[in-house]
Structure 1
């Protein structure tokens, strides 16, 4: 099927007709007399006869070519497009932000990996491994990454490029954002990032192993703003639940944040527990798609342009090769 992007251009088909009446071609008329004794009159007056004006008359084929050429120009201006068969695409329907605590306590080696039970690794290494598995199951989501310590930083804006996201995650190091824990500010930054996008299904997953010690905005107050922005927060407390001091996780605050936003709160003291947490989140937040159907359009305006050039060359060839019809007169 063919459609025209600018169908109003076809009004220009009337332009030559309008111009014919508004601004006709210049014509000059002179009076003359026809006599049967022309030769005798020339001899008597002594005038030398000369040829008069030459009037070229168009053949019907030339007129037809002229009309077709103008038609091709107007059709090209209207931009004809071939409409293809419907194509359905699936796009991400959820923005999923993951906030990772990079405070100094994330360097504590109290996690073991399934493939190496004998050696312990630091908490951040365990988090990276579990996140890699979790992200591989989230093809339909647009993922973002926030790192927080003394302050929160946007490491990766929302993207469908999971390989790039994982590369940015792998580049993280303990302490690169500072030694403290600005948990509430991390929630605040995520709200700002979410509000810059139109997606309505919004999920924030926060991993922390300590108490909030550096935020300008209390985590609970930030959670209330997040709830108003339709952001669901899942909190994950990792590490030793019986730690003391600043490294002690405030489980009550994490549970309150999750409750305010309609999410869930979890505790993970080892790698297996952390994997179980992400599996639970996968079940609660299954992949979500939005289907969009469109019909691709391919412009073919070059075809009438090519036809116009062909008609112009044919018309020029006719004018060049044929002898014009001439009406002769005398001045």
Structure 2
């Protein structure tokens, strides 16, 4: 699409007419020498003076060229541009971190695959569901955190979901230590997301135990996450009736989620239960993308300006050439040579 940036410049189109109409004619005076024997001198020199003084020739090409040059200059000043078709650039609007417990208790084989009846350990059931969840979130930057005795980044926030899936598959029980550091996992998520430009920041924390190794209390870490605008959804898996320190603390997970404006979930017994939880989270945090639309512009003011300069140069070049061809040639020996 064509457009002029300064279309008001065309209001100056009749300006030369107003100048010609209103400005006084140019007049000049010069001194002259009166010679009573001028005719005799002209006859002696063999010249024939023009009667009535010198008259300027009417140059129709110049009268045609001047308006054309004025119009071209106004077109250049109005800045013609060509707007190309709009280009849409999609940017992720949400950062999504998945924190997964790799403590020793994740090796319990108490989950059953409803389709095959296969008995799975907790981590295998979680990895299957999380992989499907990541595959659906094409518009979000996704990262992984693993935690046990401490919390460690497994995959940075990225749109390269294939790499995230590879690092998810590489996770092994106990690789972060045998205990559970829920508070440290939340604190690490805050550090990873505090300087990101995303409009929304979400942490999905999955564990089958209670906090036994954190340097910072989970409730305090949740307050810090809230201060940084991070929503934490918690998922507790396993039987809450289990005795000992491996017992999942659903109450603590609920407090963490409520503090940050998130939701707490519980899944046990079947892999489909975990899938159902992630499906609910998927609906609560739909894929969100910001779209930046811009239209490339191509400037063409230089074309009108170059044409005007070329016509002006060509005209004066031809005028000089014609003047040289019309100049009288004097033969040596003639008077005045």
Q: Per the shorter chain, which TM-score range?
A: 0.5 to 0.7
The answer to whether residue 315 in structure 2 is matched with residue 318 in structure 1 is yes
Q: Is the 8 A contact 2:182 2:214 kept in 1?
A: yes
Q: Is the 8 A contact 2:208 2:246 kept in 1?
A: yes
Report deviation, 1:245: 5.0
C-alpha RMSD of the superposition: 4.6
Counterpart of 1:117 in 2: which secondary structure?
Answer: coil
Aligned counterpart, 2:81: 80
Q: Is the 8 A contact 2:93 2:290 kept in 1?
A: no
Report deviation, 1:121: 4.1
Q: Taking structure 1 as reference, are residues 84 and 279 closer, same or farther at Cα in structure 2, changes over 3 Å only?
A: closer
Report deviation, 1:240: 5.5
Distance 2:318 2:88 in 1: 56
Counterpart of 1:169 in 2: which secondary structure?
Answer: helix
Q: For 1:100-179, what aligned pairs fall within 5 Å after superposition?
A: 100-114=100-114, 116-118=116-118, 120-139=119-138, 141-149=140-148, 150-153=150-153, 155-157=155-157, 159=159, 162-179=161-178
Report deviation, 1:131: 1.1
Distance 2:170 2:71 in 1: 65
Q: Is the 8 A contact 2:96 2:157 kept in 1?
A: no
Distance 1:174 1:308 in 2: 72
> Among 66, 71, 80, which residue is 2:74 paired with?
71
Aligned counterpart, 1:257: 256
Q: For 1:295-314, what aligned pairs fall within 5 Å after superposition?
A: 296-302=294-300, 304-314=301-311
Report deviation, 1:183: 1.4
Counterpart of 2:204 in 1: which secondary structure?
Answer: strand
Q: Is the 8 A contact 2:84 2:297 kept in 1?
A: no
Q: Is the 8 A contact 1:3 1:83 kept in 2?
A: no
Report deviation, 1:136: 4.0
- The higher relative CO (CA closer than 8 Å, separation ≥ 6) is in 1
Report deviation, 1:168: 3.9
Q: Taking structure 1 as reference, are residues 96 and 307 closer, same or farther at Cα in structure 2, changes over 3 Å only?
A: same
User: TM-score, length-normalised on structure 1?
Assistant: 0.67
Q: Is the 8 A contact 1:268 1:277 kept in 2?
A: no
Distance 2:85 2:297 in 1: 11
Report deviation, 1:30: 7.3
Report deviation, 1:292: 5.9
Q: Taking structure 1 as reference, are residues 174 and 70 closer, same or farther at Cα in structure 2, changes over 3 Å only?
A: farther
Distance 2:37 2:171 in 1: 112
User: TM-score, length-normalised on structure 2?
Assistant: 0.66
Q: Is the 8 A contact 1:156 1:168 kept in 2?
A: no
Distance 2:102 2:258 in 1: 24
Q: Taking structure 1 as reference, are residues 269 and 223 closer, same or farther at Cα in structure 2, changes over 3 Å only?
A: farther
Q: Taking structure 1 as reference, are residues 109 and 67 closer, same or farther at Cα in structure 2, changes over 3 Å only?
A: same
Q: Taking structure 1 as reference, are residues 81 and 41 closer, same or farther at Cα in structure 2, changes over 3 Å only?
A: same
Distance 1:199 1:141 in 2: 10
